[in-house]
Amino acid sequence: MARDPRYDILFQPLKIGPVTAKNRFYQVPHCNGGGYRDPSAAAAMRGIKSEGGWGVIFTEQCEMHHTSEITPFIELRLWEDADIPGLAKMAAAMKRHGALAGIQLAYSGVNGPNLYTREVPRAPTALPIRTFTNDPIQARAMDREDIRDLRRWHRNAFRRAKQAGFDLVCLYGAHGFGIIQHFLSRATNQRSDEYGGSLENRARLMRELIAEARDAVGDSCGITLRLSLDEIVGDLGFSNAELRDLIAMHADLPDLWDLAHGAWEDCSGPSRFKEEAAQEDLVAGIKQLTQKPVVGVGRFTSPDVMVRQIKQGTLDFIGCARPSIADPFLPRKVEEGRIEDIRECIGCNICITGDMTMSISRCTQNPTFMEEWRKGWHPEKIQGKGDSDSVLVVGAGPAGLEAALALGRRGYRVALAESGTELGGRVARECKLPGLSAWGRVRDYRAFQLGKLANVEIYFDSHLAAEDILGFGFQHVAIATGADWRRDGVARAHVVPMPIDAAIPLFTPDDIMAGRLPDGGRVVLFDDDHYYMGGVTAELLAGKGMKVTLVTSSAFVSDWSRNTLEQGAIHRRLAAAGIEIVLNRVVTRIGADHVETACAYTGNAAPMAADAVVLVTARIGRDALWHDLVARRGDWAEAGIRSVKRIGDAEAPGPIAWATYAGHRYARELDEPDIGDAMPFRREVTALAAD
């Protein structure tokens, strides 16, 4: 199909200094947890985006000198010539289908603890290192010689970046992560020399580094500057008003202004807290201050919203990180008139957890993310079916939906049986929780795509038992029957059931999502799950006027959501809703009208009155059907069954991304040769030195 002319504007080429982007789709830098440890996996991931039609593709943050690094986080490194080949591989992959290749160079300053290199950190002003982990390390203030060194190191990095094949070099001064911001902000720059004080002075280093870039590579590379739209660290911070003054003063200094909100938590806020285009007000009007193009982000997934950003004169380029992860082929789909095929980001921030946990990123919507090289998975292509023909998928949650879709695309005859009356499983329920409506896209994308496959049949009201399945004659059976929240208290604090008085009204998230709520009064919610469910359930109940006390054994509400960058926002929202937050306490026993609690450190006990209790603890896989079928393995051959497998939450409960991955993996591996004990993915092992 042809592209809808109303999106033509998104495909207009635009110059960035000496180079020209073929369109307005600009993949801003984003981490992926792979970085320097998984160079080929990261390169292949960027290469897929080139194939998907992006006009500009950036690396993640690249540490440009060894005196400033952010271990334990795994990003890229350009410390010496030996780092060039890995980056050259990435640049080549980015350019393969005509995108401009960009590298984001970061000197981390007061954000770099140097845990690996053991160098003394350098910053505009001597202050403690500002990281997620409160490392007990301080930076020393840079003197003039340090600034001269920094300029020279940047020159070297620019030259190396060009040698690696990059078309664009970006100086990082946003999210609190780059030294340009540390100099611009009065919070981190308290100098009294020519680099401190007035905005003119605080911007001096920025001007000098851009001059170095211009001199070193400006003839052939575009020079971009990534700055914070508003630092939001209090009155001393680099504000939106100061940013506007700065851009007015230096209107045409870089070849492009790349603007991103405040701290990373603000910029990459999840959909629970931030809408699409949430930064529009902060960026509006800035384009009028400069002749140079402006790029901004806002979890843009709708081409109409993108067009509006350009037509109304807010942005020149549409910056995307998460939308490009969820659908690397987003531009191609707009180009080909296939808007409805866009796999929209749900704003869950699971991708960010790969970076925060130094593992490797996943995406709830795109199970192939970071498996492009490791497993050879392509987001849009899948191998044809193997030697069998038919598969029954039981359960239409994220695991079953993804399995049915990928199996259908492989060409199998697929039946998807669901005991309920709608698709989506847990997603259909959870997307009705406060702030989580965008999560319904996990279901919506797959439901629509399944509708296009004539070889997939969906059966509702089909609660299947082993006997039914043995009578059907499908060759393979995937059991994607999900999980139930436990009501016995077992999770981390309790590995065996806790004492519970049967007289107390007791609820789990399953009850709440099904509309079975406490009658009111004092509700104690015990969160020993530590991800979003405890906090969001408390929010729902408080919204219904209940007096909620959230008790958790952790030192943080929704502790694991620190990895999705929303823990602070969750705490703020719960506090604003009047929820009492009790940290570092365990519910040890539940009585008829109270709970007993104990301090997580000292064990000191204290009772707490309760009219009802909500337990957000562990989940149990609904695998009875699988056990029943396994018990009847002797009947399989006669029934024509070759395999029965549990997948997703039925096998082991986890976040939604784990379920979509499990469904996809099942579909990819069906009928493939058994690899025995071999590794199921490729990895790179550090080359040993000769001595």
From the CB of 350, what's the least distance to ligand SF4, in Å?
Answer: 4
Count of residues of this chain found to bind ligand SF4 when the rule CB under 6 A is applied: 13
Q: Could you say whether residue 259 binds ligand SF4 (CB under 6 A)?
A: no
Q: What share of the chain is helix, strand, coil (3-state, %, to 5)?
A: 35, 20, 45
The H or E element spanning position 638 is helix 636-639
As a whole number of angstroms, the distance between CA 539 and CA 402 comes to: 30
**Residues touching ligand ADP: how many (CB under 6 A)?**
26
Kindly write out the interface string for residues 369-388 of this chain, putting x where it contacts ligand ADP by CB under 6 A and - elsewhere: --------------------
Structure tokens at 122: 């350098």
Give the tokens for residue 274. Answer: 């931030």
CB atoms within 10 A of CB 691: 3
The span from the CA of 84 to the CA of 159, in Å, is 10
**Residue 420 binding: pick among ligand SF4, ligand ADP, none (C-beta 5-8 Å cut-off by kind):** ligand ADP
Kindly indicate which of the ranges 47-55, 283-291, 358-366, 567-575 contains the residues binding ligand SF4, using the contact rule CB under 6 A.
358-366
Work out which of 164, 396, 407, 598 binds ligand ADP, going by CB under 6 A.
Answer: 396
Nearest approach, Cβ of 392 to ligand ADP (angstroms)? Answer: 10
User: Closer to ligand ADP at the Cβ: 48 or 431?
Assistant: 431
Picking from 375, 454, 528, the residue whose alpha carbon sits closest to that of residue 41 is 375
The yes or no reply on residue 400 touching ligand SF4 (CB under 6 A) is no
Interaction mask 305-344, ligand SF4, x per CB under 6 A: -----------------x--xx------------------
464 lies in the binding site for ligand ADP (CB under 6 A):
yes
Closest CA to 617 of 537, 508, 543, 472: 508
> In this complex, which beta carbon is closest to ligand SF4, that of residue 114 or of residue 368?
368
Out of ligand ADP, ligand SF4, none, what residue 128 binds, judged by CB under 5 to 8 A for its kind, is none
- Which option in ligand ADP, ligand SF4, none does residue 349 bind, with CB closer than 5 to 8 A by kind? ligand SF4
The least distance separating ligand ADP from the CB of residue 421, rounded to whole angstroms, comes to 9
Single out the segment in contact with ligand ADP by CB under 6 A; choices: 90-98, 219-227, 436-444, 648-656.
648-656
Asked if residues 387 and 397 have their Cβ atoms less than 8 Å apart, the reply is: no
End-to-end CA distance of the chain: 59
Going through 245-395 in order, the beta strands assigned E by DSSP cover: 256-260, 294-296, 317-320, 390-394
276 binds, among ligand SF4, ligand ADP, none (CB under 5 to 8 A by kind): none
Supply the DSSP string of 121-181, one letter for each residue.
PEESS--B---TT--S-BPEEP-HHHHHHHHHHHHHHHHHHHHTT-SEEEEEE-BTTSHHH
Smaller CB separation from ligand SF4, 254 or 323: 323
Q: Is 419 in the site for ligand ADP (CB under 6 A)?
A: yes
- Residue 462 lies near ligand ADP (rule: CB under 6 A): yes
Pick one of ligand ADP, ligand SF4, none as the site partner of residue 489 (Cβ within 5 to 8 A by kind): none
Closest CB 425 distance from ligand ADP, rounded Å: 2
Radius of gyration of the chain from Cα atoms? 27
365 binds ligand SF4 (CB under 6 A): yes
Report DSSP letters for 403-418, one per residue: HHHHHHHHT-EEEEE-
Residue 674 CB coordination number (10 Å) = 6
**Any contact of residue 540 with ligand SF4 (CB under 6 A)?**
no
How wide is the angle at C-alpha 307 spanned by C-alphas 306 and 308, nearest 5°?
Answer: 90
Q: Which residues does 322 contact at the CB level (< 8 Å), separation at least 6?
A: 30, 268, 299, 345, 347, 349, 351
The answer to the question of residue 509 lying near ligand ADP (CB under 6 A) is no
User: Can residue 393 be called a binding residue for ligand SF4 (CB under 6 A)?
Assistant: no
**Pairwise CA distance, residues 626 & 249, whole Å:** 67
| Out of 347, 367, 435, 518, the residue judged to bind ligand SF4 by CB under 6 A | 347
Stretch that binds ligand SF4, among 81-89, 359-367, 582-590, 595-603 (CB under 6 A): 359-367
Six-digit token string for 669: 């591996």
Provide the Cα torsion 338, 339, 340, 345; round to 10°. 130
Contact yes or no for 621/486 (Cβ under 8 A):
no
What is the rounded CA–CA span in Å between residue 326 and residue 329?
9
Question: What is the nearest approach in angstroms of ligand ADP to the Cβ of residue 441?
Answer: 15
The correct pick among 221, 345, 405, 582 for binding ligand SF4 (CB under 6 A) is 345
* Neighbouring residues of 377: CB distance < 8 A, sequence distance ≥ 6: 367, 368, 371, 664, 668
Q: Which is nearer to ligand ADP, 270 or 653 (CB)?
A: 653
**Binding to ligand ADP by residue 63, rule CB under 6 A?**
no
- Using CB under 6 A as the binding rule, the residues of this chain from 512 to 541 that contact ligand ADP are none
Q: Does 276 bind ligand ADP (CB under 6 A)?
A: no
Sole binder of ligand ADP in the list 218, 400, 489, 655 (CB under 6 A): 400
Contacting residues toward ligand SF4, per CB under 6 A:
322, 325-326, 345-351, 363-365
Q: Which residues bind ligand ADP (CB under 6 A)?
A: 394-400, 417-420, 425-426, 462-464, 480-483, 622, 625, 648-650, 659
